[in-house]
């Protein structure tokens, strides 16, 4: 797939656009020598890239990918942390959190393309996305208790929302690594595709999603995220608020007109 533009955020993160994929951004984890282990510098770059994407109204879908052939992301850079004092770890914490919340709070739909190792913070980056496409080489898990910590990038909250409290407890307490086929059965990933096709399939899915109303996509994401976990009455109020934000938009008017005129919509994005 031809890259039409690339913006670098530090040494280890890039945002790319591709020919033929309008309104889709690829957020690339690009620290191959360390299997995308998230160092302080890399975390800072992920957060900066997410800030830029969140402000870009032309982007309707973001796909999170890896430049490494055998890993999506192996989690926190434990070699870096091995040299940390307690004070260093405290100072790093806001930077690390900003990387994960940056992905989690992107206003447009997000898709993770996962192959190889997606462990600890690496899996948490994927969990922060709305959808996860994986291939059979994927090996996912939250093994933090095996090194004396707990998931700190949202894992204890995001995993039970995917697979339920008991299943999440078993996975986190056991620290076990789950291969791609089982991960699909358990709901840890949403689609399992042919080996080596995770990125291509995720970008293709992003293209299909991006054909829809950008106003509608962002509002639907808000409703899904904010309504999750609420009681039904409260959830319906969240949905109503999101509906009102699009019901009188240019996108709604264009969508209705395009449907009646039997043509492709030309979304104004407002």
Residue whose entry in the numeric block shows the structure tokens 């991960």: 183
In the block, tokens 């009681």 appear at 231
- CB 169: neighbour CB atoms within 10 A? 14
Phi, psi dihedrals of residue 3, rounded to the nearest 5°:
-80, 125
Residue in 17, 25, 37, 76 annotated catalytic: 76
144 is catalytic: yes
What is the number of alpha carbons within 13 Å of residue 77 lying toward its C-beta?
Answer: 23
Measured torsion, CA atoms of residues 43, 48, 52, 55, in degrees rounded to the nearest 10 = 90
79: tokens are 């070699």
Query: Is residue 250 among the annotated active site residues?
Result: no
- Beta-bridged to residue 8, according to DSSP, are 14
175: left (phi over 0), alpha (psi -120 to 50) or beta: left
Residues 135, 195 contacting (CB under 8 angstroms): yes
The beta strand positions in the chain, using DSSP E, are 3-9, 13-18, 24-29, 61-66, 71-73, 110-114, 117-119, 131-134, 139-141, 178-179, 191-192
Active-site residue flag, 187: no
- Beta bridge mates, 149: none
- Dist CA 136 CA 243 (whole Å): 38
Catalytic residue among 144, 201, 207, 210: 144
Active-site option among 17, 99, 124, 242: 124
Contact by Cβ (8 Å): 219, 243: yes
Options 102, 121, 153, 180, the catalytic residue: 121
126 is catalytic: no
Residues taking part in catalysis = 76, 121, 124, 144
């Amino acid at each position: 797939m031809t890259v039409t533009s690339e913006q670098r955020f530090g040494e280890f993160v890039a945002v790319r656009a591709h020919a033929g994929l309008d309104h889709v951004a690829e957020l690339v984890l690009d620290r191959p020598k360390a299997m995308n282990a998230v160092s302080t510098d890399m975390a800072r770059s992920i957060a900066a890239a997410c800030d830029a994407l969140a402000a870009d109204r032309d982007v309707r879908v973001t796909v999170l990918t890896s430049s490494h052939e055998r890993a999506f992301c192996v989690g926190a850079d434990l070699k870096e942390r091995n040299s940390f004092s307690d004070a260093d770890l405290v100072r790093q914490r806001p930077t690390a959190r900003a990387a994960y919340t940056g992905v989690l709070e992107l206003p447009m739909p997000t898709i993770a393309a996962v192959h190889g190792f997606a462990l600890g913070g690496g899996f948490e980056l994927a969990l922060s996305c709305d959808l996860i496409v994986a291939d059979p080489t994927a090996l996912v898990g939250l093994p933090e208790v095996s090194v004396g910590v707990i998931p700190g990038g949202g894992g204890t909250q995001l995993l039970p929302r995917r697979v339920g409290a008991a299943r999440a407890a078993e996975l986190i307490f056991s620290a076990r690594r789950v291969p791609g086929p089982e991960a699909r059965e358990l709901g840890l990933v949403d689609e399992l595709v042919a080996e080596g096709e995770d990125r291509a399939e995720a970008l293709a899915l992003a293209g299909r999603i991006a054909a829809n109303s950008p106003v509608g996509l962002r509002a639907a994401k808000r409703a899904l995220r904010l309504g999750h976990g609420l009681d039904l009455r409260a959830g319906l109020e969240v949905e109503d608020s999101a509906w009102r934000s699009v019901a009188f938009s240019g996108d709604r008017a264009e969508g209705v007109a395009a449907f009646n005129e039997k043509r492709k919509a030309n979304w104004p994005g407002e």
